[in-house]
Structure 1
Amino acid sequence: MKSKKVSNISRRSVLKAGAAVLATPYLISRPARADEGTVKIMGVSTVALQDWSAFEADTGLKMDFVGVNSDPGLYVQEVVANEAGDSYDIFIFDGGIEDRLGASGHFQKIDPAAMKLWGAVADSVKSSALLQGADGTQYGVPIVFNADSFGYHVDAISEAEPFSWGMVFENEKMLGKVALEDTWLTTLPNAALYLISKGKAITDPSNMTPEEAKMTADFLIERKKAGQFRALWHSYEESVDLLGNREVLIAECWEPVIKQLQRDGKNVRYASMKEGYSKWMIGAYLPSQAKDERLARAYKALDWFLDGHYGAQMAIQQGYATANPQAALAFAKAKGLSEADLGAIKLNIEKVEQKMTLPHYWQNSAPQHVEAIEAEWQRFKQA
């Protein structure tokens, strides 16, 4: 089995679907096609397991996984300019890229009948706009996803969940004790969710008009001047330190931050929300070149990603949901995993059944008025 990494991991960068094509033509080595018992995957490093032995035992296939950064420009370069579909059987990229690479013919339509476990995937998950083309064509299979919110110190919060986003953005008890993620991609829409709950006219937090973005930035500037925010964090490590050292008591952050701090003995939790979440997804896509035996191997691999062993690993290690969490729970019980591990998997079942069904919002890395939104974010930062 192989698991290679060609660049540093970043679950998501500040994404633009129209990112410039990279100048260097062949950044990723092309695997040989000689071994017909191997499935070859190019994917975001976040989804990779450290040990693929269970995959190989269950499927009878070898795994050759090449990890890449979360970067749509890289995806386009490899798939379009470098014709990576000639060599790779599956791409696992940030959801949304199918709007560009599916409609252009570089990804093929998914055949649900080719997967035994497709029917076990919740409709609210597989129908995500981050897996389907603009015309509703199913190009992607969900691999991992999450509903991001905020982490907090349990002893500092007396209110009961589910919380409002007002806990982060308009909370007099937490003045100077809140950290925000330093990106418009999540922080502006999360603030917009709160404004919607207050009756403000915002149609889609992930695709705001210039006027809506200005209203949201004006609100954030007002709260910034009131002293609400202690810091903007830029990296996973920085968010861990801010919350772990109690420099802040609330941090808009990724769930693995809370998993790590809990392992370190910190009494922190990841919040459930009333208004909605920052929902993201990484999907698997099939290159148009994959046919016959290559295609059969690809679907066999995708079925394994939809099954229990992979889902259990992601839930326990990262707190990420997978497409078939009930299978993960059944696997954990059959293998006699700990109550803590079972609890992590059950939380992911809750996500699929409750959090993912809320209407707002799937992350949109390329909203219609992205330049205006970016400008409003910079105005907030400079205020």
Structure 2
Amino acid sequence: MGDKISRRGVLKGAAAAGAATAVTGFPTVWAQNIKNITLNHTGMSYSTLIDIARKASEDLGFKVEMSVVDHPGLINRMINDPTSIDIADSEIWQAKVFVPQGTTQGIDVSKIETWDQVTPLYKDGTFAGKEVSREGDSPFEYMYRESADATSFATGPTGWATFVPSVYNADTLGIRPDKIDGEVSSWASLIDPKFRGKAAIQNIPTNGIMDAVMALQAAGEMTYGDRGNLTPDEINQTVGKLIELKKAGHWRALWNTFDESVNLMASGEVVIQSMWSPAVTAVRTQGVNCVYQPLKEGYRGWGNGLAMMSHLDGLKRDAAYEYLNWYLSGWVGGFIAKQGYYISIPEKAKDFLTENEWGFFYEGKAATAPITSPTGEVTNKAGDVRDGGSYEERFSKVAVWNNLMDNAPLLFGKWNEFNAA
């Protein structure tokens, strides 16, 4: 561990030190060579943020670049153009596609300095001392491999991780309380006729289907054996009901992008919809009252991980490990907390948050001063409490996880019918 810290410490200063003192040999030569490395981090817009690349490049002394793709685009790049990516920032369920293809390598957990501090949510499948829901693709189920080049998952902890746990959250519905009469306390509200023409659902089939499942079961219109792995009949019935709602004019939109969801809610065209936490933040920065509403049936959980592509070796693999260790060291956790996301080592994030911010985002305490977004706009005023409460309160109520179902090809085909209806 000490070696890792010292190596990272010389990355930015080695060249200057070498010029001043004529010091040669490792780690100075290593640092002078690694500064010529460029790492490409590719993932979705909510986590693949240019601010992270800039800070990493500044701190590490080599260049980190970000490439933003959508969910299908990431899998396409990983399978068909794997050498164009170095670090794949994937959702957990996507590992079910890329690990069998052999496009990523196992991560040696002994080279991750703070592995012992990573949340048990990923490492052990527990949270607050209890097993987390296994409906859907929970992180622990895809966390480990038997070896660096294994193309299947281990059933328990090993020395090889599929990915380094990164950002995650508990998702729910976004609402405009200033435009809604009465309380919203159930997923059933997403399909309530009183919101006809004012509701929207995300147009990502793996995620949108879960919001539909939660809503239809809460409304008593469907009962599922396993909400995270629907049977063909359940898929047909569920999407059939979504199509019926669409033909009745219920859906104002099926949104595809972060910006679409923000604009729909900020404009008031939509008053209830599938939403991501940073989108709620973005609406609030416009001075619009938007709430990430806790619901009695629980949350839809999701998580991301940083995977190392198989082509990495030598100095570039060294750089990748440096980057993964930096990612967990705290700055990223503090930055993404202001978007409403959690990091896999919360205590490290604490060092990069004020006492007020830590209390608000993680402890469920009322803000003692205004809370701001990562770019400085006010999102919450003093006295506000985070929607859903503390970290423990929110994640103790995860009911299902984003997933790739066994019958995914059928789902994708039916979802296309939903779009075309």
Hey, what does 1:11 align to over in structure 2? none
Letter in 2 for 1:333: T
C-alpha contact 2:283 2:290 (8 A) present in aligned 1: yes
Distance 1:50 1:164 in 2: 36
1:135 to 154, 162, 176: 154
- Tell me whether 1:50 sits opposite 2:54 in the alignment: no
Distance 1:369 1:238 in 2: 29
Hey, what does 2:405 align to over in structure 1? 367
Per-residue CA deviation, residues 2-29 of structure 1 (Å, 9 max, x unaligned), is xxxxxxxxxxxxxxxxxxxxxxxxxxxx
Hey, what does 1:121 align to over in structure 2? 118
> Does the C-alpha gap of structure 1 residues 103 and 181 become closer, same or farther in structure 2, counting only changes over 3 Å?
closer
- Tell me whether 1:189 sits opposite 2:203 in the alignment: no
> Does the C-alpha gap of structure 1 residues 200 and 66 become closer, same or farther in structure 2, counting only changes over 3 Å?
closer
What's the TM-score, normalizing by structure 2?
Answer: 0.68
C-alpha contact 1:130 1:281 (8 A) present in aligned 2: no
Distance 1:263 1:295 in 2: 39
C-alpha contact 2:78 2:103 (8 A) present in aligned 1: no
Task: Give secondary structure in 2 for the equivalent of 1:187.
Answer: helix
Hey, what does 1:376 align to over in structure 2? 414
> Does the C-alpha gap of structure 1 residues 279 and 45 become closer, same or farther in structure 2, counting only changes over 3 Å?
same
Following superposition, the deviation at residue 335 of structure 1 comes to: 11
Give matches, 1:170-181, under 5 Å.
171-181=192-202
- Tell me whether 1:267 sits opposite 2:289 in the alignment: yes
C-alpha contact 2:202 2:275 (8 A) present in aligned 1: yes
Letter in 1 for 2:408: V
Task: Give secondary structure in 1 for the equivalent of 2:50.
Answer: coil
Per-residue CA deviation, residues 307-329 of structure 1 (Å, 9 max, x unaligned), is 2211121222x333322233223
Hey, what does 1:41 align to over in structure 2? 40
Higher CA-based Rg:
2
Following superposition, the deviation at residue 40 of structure 1 comes to: 1.8
Q: Which has the higher contact order (CA 8 A, sep 6+)?
A: 1
Identity %, equivalent residues: 24
> Does the C-alpha gap of structure 1 residues 53 and 223 become closer, same or farther in structure 2, counting only changes over 3 Å?
closer
Hey, what does 1:75 align to over in structure 2? 78
Unaligned runs of 5+ in 2: 1-30, 126-138, 145-151, 359-368, 374-378
Unaligned runs of 5+ in 1: 1-32
Hey, what does 2:251 align to over in structure 1? 229
C-alpha contact 2:143 2:153 (8 A) present in aligned 1: no
Following superposition, the deviation at residue 124 of structure 1 comes to: 1.6
C-alpha contact 2:200 2:272 (8 A) present in aligned 1: yes
Hey, what does 2:319 align to over in structure 1? 297
C-alpha contact 1:154 1:269 (8 A) present in aligned 2: yes
Following superposition, the deviation at residue 222 of structure 1 comes to: 4.6
Per-residue CA deviation, residues 119-154 of structure 1 (Å, 9 max, x unaligned), is 222222345045455434631112223333221112
C-alpha contact 1:194 1:275 (8 A) present in aligned 2: no
- Tell me whether 1:99 sits opposite 2:96 in the alignment: yes
Task: Give secondary structure in 2 for the equivalent of 1:361.
Answer: strand
More off after superposition, 351-360 vs 189-198: 351-360
Letter in 1 for 2:371: A
C-alpha contact 2:111 2:321 (8 A) present in aligned 1: yes
> How many residues were matched structurally?
339
Distance 2:254 2:323 in 1: 40
Distance 2:402 2:320 in 1: 27
> Does the C-alpha gap of structure 1 residues 281 and 351 become closer, same or farther in structure 2, counting only changes over 3 Å?
farther
Task: Give secondary structure in 1 for the equivalent of 2:281.
Answer: helix
Letter in 1 for 2:402: Q
What's the TM-score, normalizing by structure 1?
Answer: 0.74
Task: Give secondary structure in 1 for the equivalent of 2:264.
Answer: helix
C-alpha contact 1:148 1:255 (8 A) present in aligned 2: yes
Following superposition, the deviation at residue 370 of structure 1 comes to: 2.5
Per-residue CA deviation, residues 187-229 of structure 1 (Å, 9 max, x unaligned), is 2221212334438442333431110112213433454455533
Distance 1:359 1:49 in 2: 30
> Does the C-alpha gap of structure 1 residues 335 and 189 become closer, same or farther in structure 2, counting only changes over 3 Å?
closer
Distance 2:106 2:250 in 1: 47
Distance 1:250 1:335 in 2: 29
Q: Say what the alpha-carbon RMSD is for the aligned residues.
A: 3.6
Distance 2:240 2:54 in 1: 52
> Does the C-alpha gap of structure 1 residues 305 and 349 become closer, same or farther in structure 2, counting only changes over 3 Å?
farther
More off after superposition, 121-130 vs 204-213: 121-130
Hey, what does 2:65 align to over in structure 1? 65
Task: Give secondary structure in 2 for the equivalent of 1:332.
Answer: coil
